Amino acid sequence: MFDMEYARWLEDDHRHMSELRTGLQAPLSDGELRVIVDGYLSHYDELFRLKAVAAKTDVFHLINGMWTSPAERCFIWIGGFRPSELITVCIIYALYIYIYIYIYIYISFWTWTQFREFIKNDNDVV
């Protein structure tokens, strides 16, 4: 149901966008342009209403994305969504970032130490 409504919403979105582009290029008054913009904003309100209804009926459809087929969503429902996998992925990326920062700090400290020793030995800068 959400896919059909979303497809209809996309068609309306293209229509509203072309109307907005035409309105920006045409010599319209501020009031007429305001009506077009308000119509476009209410169009997005409809999208958020559609997503709220979809979240109440089939939350997996929104979490896993609209690109998954109903059969895939069924298997996810049977197997269960594992948020621990998401946490594991985040921890791995955080670990990579932590290692990168640690190496950067170590290299910076090492070069700073070498620089201090160089200055301490009163070597002439070439």
- Quote the number of domains for the chain: 2
10 and 66 share a domain? Answer: yes
CA distance 112 to 95: 25
Mean pLDDT of 63-87: 66
Q: Which residue has the higher pLDDT, 96 or 86?
A: 96
Helix (H), strand (E), coil (C) string for the chain: CHHHHHHHHHHHHHHHHHHHHHHHHCCCCHHHHHHHHHHHHHHHHHHHHHHHHHHHHCHHHHHCCCCCCHHHHHHHHHHCCCHHHHHHHHHHHHHHHHHHHHHHHHHHHHHHHHHHHHHHCCCCCC
pLDDT reading at 82 higher than 70: no
Same domain, yes or no: 40 and 102: no
Per-residue model confidence (pLDDT) at position 52: 85
Comparing 88 with 72, which gets the higher pLDDT?
A: 88
pTM of the model: 0.47
Q: How much is the pLDDT for 50?
A: 85
Do residues 59 and 101 share a domain? Answer: no
Is there a single domain that holds both residue 6 and residue 67? yes
23 & 54 share domain: yes
Which tokens belong to 106? 């170590």
> In Å, what is the CA distance from 122 to each residue of 46, 106, 109, 125, 126?
73, 25, 20, 9, 12
Domain shared by 8 and 69, yes or no: yes
What average pLDDT does the segment 67-77 reach?
A: 67
The reply to whether 76 and 95 lie within a common domain is no
Confidence of residue 75 (pLDDT cuts 50, 70, 90): low
What are the pLDDT digits (tens) for 11-51?
Answer: 888 998 888 888 888 888 888 888 888 888 888 888 888 88
Are residues 102 and 71 part of one domain? no
Domain hosting 95: range is 82-126
User: Do 98 and 119 reside in the same domain of the chain?
Assistant: yes
